[in-house]
Each structure stands twice: as structure tokens, then as C-alpha cells.
Structure 1
Amino acid sequence: MQFNPTKQMSFSAQQTEWYEKAKANLSSKRLQKLLFELTDIHSPTGSTREAADYMQRHMELIGLRTKTHDNSAISRSVMGEHRGTGGGASLLLYAPIDTHLDRTKEEEILAGPGQEADLQPHARQIEDWVFGLGASNPKGMIATHVEVATAVLETGIPLKGNLLVGMADGGMPVDIKERHSGMSNGVINLLNRGMYPDFAIIMKPWNWVYHEEPGMAWFKITVKGTMGYAGIPHDVPGFRSSVVPAATVIQALQAWLPEYTKRNTSGVIEPHGWIAGVRGGQIERPAFPSAVTEIFFDVRVNPRTSPADVKAQFANFVEDVKTRHPEITMDWEMYGSVPGGTTDPENWIIQSAKRGWEHIEGRPHGVPDLLAGQTDGAALRRYGVPTARIGWPWPAQGAPVPVAEGLGGMGATYVPDLMPCAEKILYAVIDTLTRDRSELGL
């Protein structure tokens, strides 16, 4: 990606005064208290009503007008608003409110025993650390956004534009069918019900500003055989294992995925993919080899590549495997797809976010690390909302208790890490909402 220097636009003396006063009002202790209390409310995807109700009460206490939208009887999204004096833009600070795990017994095959502090459905606090499901992602983001809004309101800055704070269910990259939630359905519902802003800022891991994010495509391969019986010889006529050929397909797929990533990398997106699991047979019937073995996985979708194009690329892979292994009978389907989203990197909100980043970091922003993480930011952009993603160093280092490997950072937050990000977001809020619409290209 070509590097273009950030467009500089200095604060006026008045804006500088507002910013410094509001920054002084940012409180890590207040942020940590909110984060602990929100993390202590279990809110897996599709079951966020209690957490949303808590956040609605909290936002009303700090002076925001609120409204909610229910996706189901137990799924709720919530938005807060502070209206400016008029003539300005509307800016949404957004984060999902659902966590990626429910911590049911059935999930142990996914998460393992899950004894670590970051995988617990309740909060734990040790000095400046908060642990528990979602303590970093997404609840650390929510607490940071709300702390920024609190500091702005507390300072009494006469905003021209409207400040919105939104948090929705369904933000995790999952599809919980029994709860009708996942794949960004909550944020889309809020956008359709009055939350639509001129600009948006989302907060997600990694200490950069991003103007685009990938989508995702979910595929399932079905390797077919016949049901067998453990008491018969391996060379019995008519029996075809589905499990053993699946191992060949898995190896071919594992070799294809890095090639897919290399072929589809552009902009700041490096769309990775991983095999998520293999399913077949029944643990209660080990004497009967399965007639079907399923392999399922997720690949990320570059905003400049449609899910349909990714589907075509995968179809070519399957045909190649069939040609090289005619003895294998297999079928496949795409069972989930979310397109990526991009914002013009010259758009006001991207440039404003970069100015805030550079103001705090004291150096040019430059080209960020390539990205593969999918968020609701892609949905915001697809819906036409110019959106900047601002992050913080992740995962947090030096946890005083053991955390899970892999995604352990999602439930472990070192609160001081969040404060520079809050200062960057605050900069963009004041930069954007104290100006007339015409200054912002609107």
C-alpha cells in the first residue's frame, strides 16, 4: 500500500483548550470500575439484554439520551446520544457488546477446560488488570468509548455535532441460530433504527488506524464414504472410509490457505484462513465408522474481493483435489459470508483519527501492520458510514495470572494500555464535532 502523509489541520487555541481539559478529565479508575462491572455481566452472543440494560442506565447517568433495539427476548442493543448545538456532523463511537463464548459444557471441545481467568463468565480484578470473558474485546472498548463521552460531557464542550455511543449484540464472528444473532445483525438493526451517523469510530486491537477491514466466508467440505463396522477387515468389498480420505483433504486445504492469503492480499488486508474443525461419527458408537466426515473453516474476504469470487476460488481448489484424488468422493458448500468494507483513506474521519494517533504517539502514522481481523466496522462501511478503526497494543503483556493461549488477550485487560487510545479517540471527537459540516466535506 502506498503511504500518504496525514493531512495536517491544527487545533485552534479554543479546541486545544477543550482537548486538554477533557483529556485531564479522563479517568483510568472510572474506566476500570465500569469495565469490571460490565465484564461481570455474562453476555454471550444472542444473550446481551442484561448487559445492554446496565449500559443504558450508565449512559443515562452520564447525561446521554438512550434507546434500545431488541433482536429477541434476550438480545438487546443500545445507543446513547448527546446532541450538539447544531450545524455539525454526527459521530458514532461503536463497539459490540457480546462475547465469543457462552462457557457451556458443550463448548469445552472448542475452548478446552477453560480454567484461566480470561475465560471465566465473571470479572476478576488485580491491581490495574481486569479479567473475564470479553474484558478486553469487546468490553474494554465499550468502557473506553464511554469514558471518552463522559470526559466530553463533564468538560462541557459546546459541540456543534452529535456524539453517539452505540453497542450491539451479534458482533462476534459467529452464527447462533437458536438466538437469531451473529454476523453483525445487531449493528445493522441499530443503523436501520436511527443510529446512522455521518462518521464512526470503532475500537479494536492493534495500535494503528485502519480504514478498511475484511469480511469472512465460511465453507464446509463433506467427504463421503459408507458406514462401516469395526469388526470387519479393512479390505472388505463395498466399504469406503470417509475419515481417512478426509485427512488427505485437510492436508490439501492447509496447503491452499496460505496461497489464498498471498493471492488476495492488498491494501492493508492480509486475509488469512484456518481450518476450524472436523466432524463425523458419534462418540457413543465408535464401532461404526462414519459415512460422512465434515471439514469446516473460515477464510477472510478482502474488501476488493466479493464473497462470490472467494467461492469461485474455492471451487477451483475442490476441482483440483478431485482431479488429483479421483478415489475421494466429496461435496462442499459456502454456508456463511460477510463482505469486507473500506472507507476512502482520504476521508475526514480517517485523517482525523490519524491526527489524533500522531498527536499522542509523537510520530508519523505510516503504513500499519496488515490486518485479518473481522469486525462490525465492515458492516458500518458497507452501509455507507465512513469508519475509522483505532486500536491499542494487544494482547496485554505481563498478566499476573495465567491466561489462555491463542485468544487469551480477549479477556485480559491492562487498563493503562487503554488510556492512550482514549486520548486518540477524544482528539478525533473534538476535531470532528466542534466544526461545521462544510469543514468536514459534508
Structure 2
Amino acid sequence: MADEALAALRHAADQAIDAATLGDALAALAAQPSPYGRERATAQRVADWAATRWPELTWRVDPLAHTATTPDSANLVGGSDPGDGPELLIYSHLDTSLTGGVDFDAPITGRHTPAPALDLPGPDGDIVSGFGLGVARAAAAAALVGYAAAAEACRAAGRPHRLTLLLAATGTHRHDPDAGPDDGVAPAPTTGGVLHHLRDRPLPAAAIVAKTSPPGILTAEPGAMFLRVRLSSGFHPALFRDTATPPGGLLTHLGVIIEALEEFRRVHLARRADPDAQVGAELGIGAVRAGQPGKPDLLPGAVDLHLYLTTVPGDDPAQITDALRATLVRRLRDTPLAGCGLAVAAHPVHPSAATAPDAPICRHAQDAWLAAHGRPAAALRGWTGSTDGVVLRGRGVPTVRLGPPALPPDPADPRRERYALPELVRFARLYAEIALRHQQASTG
């Protein structure tokens, strides 16, 4: 009887998910920029559309506290009639890695033109393209539609259920480059859309993170931290560069510090290499700041290099920071940079975390994957992407991450990310299937 009930719910949910609804969800999510800390307008637009499309469900815009980094920020929370069973949270986020604004994006993209608009396919097409789909509008649209279909199927059948959708603010990693001490470890952040949602409410029994992912199911994710390396020297006009410390100025010897950082990366990753681990470490130099562009006749007295590092189980941010500092001291000792000041600051975001592969939510995800793809999910190894899934796992919430695969971006403009609309439909149905399996196992 349970199998028959699940089959009936699945059929109802599948019938409610189609390409047109996915396209409408994407259009609502992509109608305007949704940068980190300024997601409220998009949250309201999506809530208004969803309330018209699914009026029986509840849609709430939940503002975050107003701060310098979140001046107009809000979560979108979808709710269905609560039952007495364990709650399942379906999570994605509203903000995009790039902002859609030229001032912030151009140093990263190398382009000074407006972000490309959403392009939905015509009657004979199945490719959707546009800005911000990879992080995270494509998966968020699939999560939204899949959640609503599952909740509506349960409601119409009179089945008790506790399903919640969270499209969170501030779901991408950001760091204030001027924050924290010149040396030592800064405390972990205490704000953010998912933490705001979890505060002062019971934890969900399980969670799904909907993000573009490798072709499988992630039950673990690495942590993340920011590192800042600062070299400093005295004030020197370019006119007297030969008498500067170091001779020629700091930027003349930038290659020395970059080579030292690359050596640290090679050793750091080699020590963490584990071909059997689902997660892996990575380190990248993402930004260099020095001098004043409008005053290049003055040599910079400080150069900051900003790094992003993903961490694996057992990593200690303080130990990583000490090891990096020791490598730099050793590598710079016999170079022109030896007489310069050196400071290394670490800013942990969150540690890595994992869910037991035999947890019920993992079994539901595996069963749903098999039903959707006709084959078991492939084993994943060495994944280096970190999301708020680690925040949920760190608070004891069993969590899986899975999402639609991206197609290669438009070669004419890589900001135009591309997805197969049938795959978004497939993943919306997959999210609904996991939710229905959770509901069925929880309530019988």
C-alpha cells in the first residue's frame, strides 16, 4: 500500500512539473540583479510569482539584519501545511557569484558590458542560457518547482507533510578584504541567510542542497577559508625606485611571492591527496591589491594577495596559517623581499562536514536518482566545491547536495551560462521525488 501511495504522489508531482513552469521560475529569478547582500527585491518578485502560481502554499520574504554587507538582504521561505513529521528543508540561494554590475564584475570577467539577459528556448529548442544560472538560478528554479509540486501533491492527497523551501540570501562566499587582524585567525562569520533561517527555530530533520554539481550525490563537502598575505615596505616615489626596499619596489618582485605560494599549494595538496575521499582541498590566488591606479608615480608600500582555500576533515586553520607563514619566511629569506614586512591572516568560513552515507536522506536521494536516471549515482571523488551544506551538516542536519549539470558556456561570452531545460525538469522531479520519499518514510 505504501508503494501505491508513493506512486500516486509521484505521478501527481511529475504532472505538475514542466518546462514552461521552469522557464517562468527562471524568469522571476533572473528578472533583475541579485548580488550578495541585496537579494530582497528578487525574493519579493519570486514570492509574488509563486503566490500566484501556488496560492495554497505560503511564501514569505524574511529580511536579514541590515548591515554594511547586507543593506537590503532577505531570504525567501516557502512553506506547506505543517504536519507532525520530521521537516525536510530544500535549500538553494538567491545571490549570484558575479553581481551583474560592471564595477564589481569587470576585474573578474574582463568585460565591461552589461550582463547577458536570460534567453529561454523557443518551441523547438531546449537550451536556456543567461547570467547567474550556474550560481545558482538554474538549480534554485528546479528546487522551487520541485518543492511546490511535492507539497501540492501531498496537500491534495491529504497526506501530512513538513516541507520547507529556503532560497537564502548571502549564499555565496564573500570576504571583506580589510577585515580582521594583520596576523592571526579571525572568528568565523555569524551572519548569513541560512544561519538567519536556522536561528530560533527547530532544526530540520534533513536537507537537500540544490546547486549545480558533479553527476552524482554529495554526502560531504569541504570547508572554506580566506587567507591574506601582506608584504609591506616604506614609502618610495617611482622617481627613486633604485633606492627603494626592495629595489624597484614591491611589484617588481611579485613573481617571487607567487612562486612561493605555488610551492605551498603543491605541498599542501599533496599532503591531503586521498583518491578515496569524496572531498578534496584546493587553493587559489584570487586577487592582488597594491597602490593607487591614479597615482602610479608612487610605489605601493603594501601588497595584499588574497587566497581562497577549501579544507578537508582534520584541517586546522591556525596550523595552515602557520605552515604558510613558515613557507614564505623560508622562501623569501634570500630574496630582495627579505627586508619587507610579512603578515598572514586567516579568516575561516566554515569547516568541512559530512553526512553518514547510510542516513535516510542519502538513501532517499540514491533511490530517487535511480528512478530518474535509470542507473545508480556514480561515486564522486575529490570534490572541491563548498556550500552552506556544511553549515547544515555542522549543526547535525543530515544533508545531500545534488543539482543539474551545466553545459559549456557560450564561447562568445562565458558569462552566458547554458543548461538543457529537460535536465532542469528532470532535477525538479528528482527533488520532488526525494521529498516524497522522505514524507512517506516519516509518516508511513
The normalised TM-score by structure 1 is: 0.85
Question: Would the aligned equivalents of 1:356 and 1:428 in 2 still touch at CA under 8 Å?
Answer: yes
Aligned match of 2:235 = 227
Report the aligned-residue RMSD: 2.8
Q: 1:52 to 1:303 in 2, by over 3 A?
A: farther
1:342 equivalent among 350, 354, 357: 354
- Aligned-pair distance for 1:250? 0.6
- Aligned-pair distance for 1:41? 2.2
Amino acid of the structure 2 residue aligned with 1:111: T
Write out per-residue CA displacement over residues 16-42 of structure 1, whole angstroms, 9 at most, x where no aligned residue.
232133223211111111101220121
Q: Describe the SS at the equivalent of 1:189.
A: helix
Question: Would the aligned equivalents of 1:65 and 1:80 in 2 still touch at CA under 8 Å?
Answer: yes
Aligned match of 2:338 = 327
Q: Describe the SS at the equivalent of 1:12.
A: helix
Aligned match of 1:95 = 92
Amino acid of the structure 2 residue aligned with 1:65: T
Corresponding pairs, count: 416
Write out per-residue CA displacement over residues 370-409 of structure 1, whole angstroms, 9 at most, x where no aligned residue.
2111111111111221111012222x1475x7331xxx47
Does 2:192 align with 1:194? Answer: no
Q: Describe the SS at the equivalent of 1:234.
A: helix
Amino acid of the structure 2 residue aligned with 1:37: A
Question: Would the aligned equivalents of 1:171 and 1:183 in 2 still touch at CA under 8 Å?
Answer: no
2:118 equivalent among 123, 127, 150: 123
Write out per-residue CA displacement over residues 33-82 of structure 1, whole angstroms, 9 at most, x where no aligned residue.
11012201211001011111122223433122233432225111121111
2:309 equivalent among 296, 299, 303: 299
Aligned match of 1:317 = 327
Aligned match of 1:3 = none
Distance between the aligned counterparts of 1:138 and 1:238, measured in 2? 44
Alignment gaps of 5+ in structure 1:
1-9
Distance between the aligned counterparts of 1:48 and 1:238, measured in 2? 45
Q: Describe the SS at the equivalent of 1:327.
A: helix
Distance between the aligned counterparts of 1:341 and 1:306, measured in 2? 13
2:59 equivalent among 62, 66, 75: 66
- Aligned-pair distance for 1:424? 2.0
Write out per-residue CA displacement over residues 339-371 of structure 1, whole angstroms, 9 at most, x where no aligned residue.
222211211111211111122222232421421
Aligned match of 1:5 = none
Amino acid of the structure 2 residue aligned with 1:100: S
Q: Describe the SS at the equivalent of 1:384.
A: coil
Q: Describe the SS at the equivalent of 1:143.
A: helix
- Aligned-pair distance for 1:322? 4.1
Aligned match of 1:412 = 418
Distance between the aligned counterparts of 2:176 and 2:118, measured in 1? 24
Equivalence map 1:390-429=2 (5 Å): 390-394=402-406, 396-397=407-408, 399=410, 402-404=412-414, 408=415, 411-429=417-435
Name whichever of 314-323 and 48-57 sits farther off.
314-323
Distance between the aligned counterparts of 1:312 and 1:166, measured in 2? 38
Aligned match of 2:182 = none
Distance between the aligned counterparts of 2:175 and 2:244, measured in 1? 41
Name whichever of 127-136 and 352-361 sits farther off.
127-136
- Aligned-pair distance for 1:96? 0.8
Does 2:249 align with 1:241? Answer: yes
Write out per-residue CA displacement over residues 98-134 of structure 1, whole angstroms, 9 at most, x where no aligned residue.
1122314254222211548xx33x4333434444332
Amino acid of the structure 2 residue aligned with 1:344: A
Name whichever of 345-354 and 107-116 sits farther off.
107-116
Distance between the aligned counterparts of 2:196 and 2:359, measured in 1? 25
- Aligned-pair distance for 1:432? 0.6
Distance between the aligned counterparts of 2:284 and 2:190, measured in 1? 18
Aligned match of 2:21 = 30
Q: 1:161 to 1:304 in 2, by over 3 A?
A: farther
Equivalence map 1:82-231=2 (5 Å): 82-86=80-84, 88-102=85-99, 103-115=101-113, 119-120=115-116, 122-127=117-122, 128-155=126-153, 156-175=156-175, 185-194=192-201, 196-205=203-212, 206-231=214-239
Amino acid of the structure 2 residue aligned with 1:125: L
Amino acid of the structure 1 residue aligned with 2:119: R
Question: Would the aligned equivalents of 2:221 and 2:384 in 1 still touch at CA under 8 Å?
Answer: yes
Aligned match of 2:181 = none
Distance between the aligned counterparts of 1:213 and 1:328, measured in 2? 40
Percent sequence identity over matched residues? 19
Question: Would the aligned equivalents of 2:288 and 2:305 in 1 still touch at CA under 8 Å?
Answer: yes
Distance between the aligned counterparts of 1:383 and 1:299, measured in 2? 22
Aligned match of 2:30 = 39
Question: Would the aligned equivalents of 1:223 and 1:245 in 2 still touch at CA under 8 Å?
Answer: no
Amino acid of the structure 2 residue aligned with 1:419: V
Amino acid of the structure 1 residue aligned with 2:38: S
1:54 equivalent among 38, 45, 51: 45
Aligned match of 1:277 = 287
- Aligned-pair distance for 1:251? 1.1
Does 2:370 align with 1:375? Answer: no
Alignment gaps of 5+ in structure 2:
179-188
The normalised TM-score by structure 2 is: 0.85
Distance between the aligned counterparts of 1:254 and 1:193, measured in 2? 43
Aligned match of 1:289 = 299
Distance between the aligned counterparts of 1:202 and 1:328, measured in 2? 48
